[in-house]
Amino acid sequence: MGFYSYLAVRSINVFLVIVVTMALTIGLFFNAFHDIKVQAIKDEVRGIISGICRTNPARCQNQTDIQNYANQLTATLMHAQGLDKPWYEQLWPILRDILSFNFGRAQSLQADNGDNTVSVIIAERIPRTVLLLGTAVLLTTIIGLVLGLYSANKPQGILDKTVIVAGLTSNAFAAWWVGLLLQFIFAYQLRLLPPIGIMDYTIPHNNFFDVFVDVLRHLTLPLTSLVIVSVGGWALVVRNLLISTLAEDFISAARSKGVPERRILFGHAMRSAAPPIITIVALSVAGIFGGAIITETVFQWNGLGWLIWQAIGRLDMPVILAFFYISTILIVIANFIADMLYGIFDPRVKTG
């Protein structure tokens, strides 16, 4: 099996996971999905009725009459969308809507331009979360790799002992609590960095560089808190993987051949330990994502995490369901990319 068929199999797998997950979710939360649609129809009918009353006030004189008309209209629209059918016949239309990112309208949340379509609200927040999350994963991976590599090269050295202790201890801290701590020290006490937000709209931004610096200043604290709690454990994993690789014969052979130390570490050892490392990066994305949700609320970073916090506060069910779907896709895609890279680095797995 070549690389492309491996790719195809994996892609089908990804799609299946998403469909199965969402089908199960719809089954579990059927009432919520149903209510969202019914609510949308009721809102629509209310709009139609008030339109009639505005253009033709005479028709609105009789309250029972207009109420009957509204009920009739609601029933017709519900029938047209199949909402009066038994639940098992409604599953597929709901699933189709969800899979095509049609989540309906939010109950109270809005996008920056005032639009309350859930997909617009979500689409607006995704880049901000990806900026925070992506930078955090990237920095964690790079710092963790370098630390893990050097500590594996000198077991029981000072760096190695530090990495072991840091790896065991840092998992015990919640990223958002570290975020609170950094916010307290660097934003409220030392006043070096802004405590909350993505950009400071009160200062003028003349060019792209100004915007970049402003966002970077706001990004520093949430990013640092995410990296601090994950980099230790990550370095420990890399160290444990590499320490067994470095004991193997081909490393000794390379050493006796006179290959420079740096090349042994980054070329030979790293290349051979790459596949498991990539898998663990992918798995750690989910963990960092969990931490990022709450870190965003601490720093009021206007991404998906801050959105879900707002949605919980207002019990905005369409947004919460959409958030769940989007975060599932994010995690599944991260795993998919890892699988692809795994295939590139380790030719043996392509038969799967």
Binding mask 29-68 for another protein (x = CB under 8 A): x--x------------------------------------
- The CA-atom distances, in angstroms, between 116 and each of 6, 120, 238 are 40, 7, 45
Distance between CA atoms of 2 and 349, rounded to whole angstroms?
A: 10
CB nearer to another protein: give 95 or 174. 174
CB of 13 to another protein, least distance (A): 8
Distance between CA atoms of 155 and 51, rounded to whole angstroms?
A: 76
Considering only residues 139, 286, 337, 341, which one is a binding residue for another protein as defined by CB under 8 A? Answer: 286
Considering only residues 6, 103, 289, 306, which one is a binding residue for another protein as defined by CB under 8 A? Answer: 289
CB nearer to another protein: give 18 or 66. 18
CB of 20 to another protein, least distance (A): 5
Amino acid at position 68, single letter: N
Amino acid at position 309, single letter: W
Considering only residues 25, 119, 141, 151, which one is a binding residue for another protein as defined by CB under 8 A? Answer: 25
Distance in angstroms between the alpha carbons of the first and the last residue of the chain: 8
252 binds another protein (CB under 8 A): no
317 binds another protein (CB under 8 A): yes
Considering only residues 129, 224, 230, 335, which one is a binding residue for another protein as defined by CB under 8 A? Answer: 335
| Phi, psi for 310 (deg, rounded to 5) | -65, -40
Using CB under 8 A, which of the segments 55-63, 98-106, 204-212, 287-295 binds another protein?
287-295
Beta bridge partners of 117: 105
Considering only residues 93, 197, 276, 290, which one is a binding residue for another protein as defined by CB under 8 A? Answer: 290
Q: Which two tokens stand for residue 260?
A: 């420079």
- The CA-atom distances, in angstroms, between 267 and each of 150, 274, 348 are 14, 10, 20
CB nearer to another protein: give 7 or 73. 7
181 binds another protein (CB under 8 A): yes
How far is C-alpha 34 from the chain's CA centre?
26
CB of 165 to another protein, least distance (A): 9
Nearest to 288 by CA among 176, 153, 187, 203: 176
240 binds another protein (CB under 8 A): yes
CB nearer to another protein: give 167 or 275. 167
| Phi, psi for 47 (deg, rounded to 5) | -65, -45
109 binds another protein (CB under 8 A): no
Distance between CA atoms of 135 and 139, rounded to whole angstroms?
A: 6
Which stretch of DSSP H or E encloses residue 308? helix 304-314
Q: Give the SS3 label for residue 105.
A: strand
Q: Which residues bind another protein (CB under 8 A)?
A: 17, 20-21, 25, 29, 32, 168-169, 171-174, 176-177, 180-181, 183-184, 188, 195, 240, 243-244, 286, 289-290, 293-294, 297-298, 308-309, 312-313, 315, 317, 320-321, 323-324, 327-328, 330-332, 335
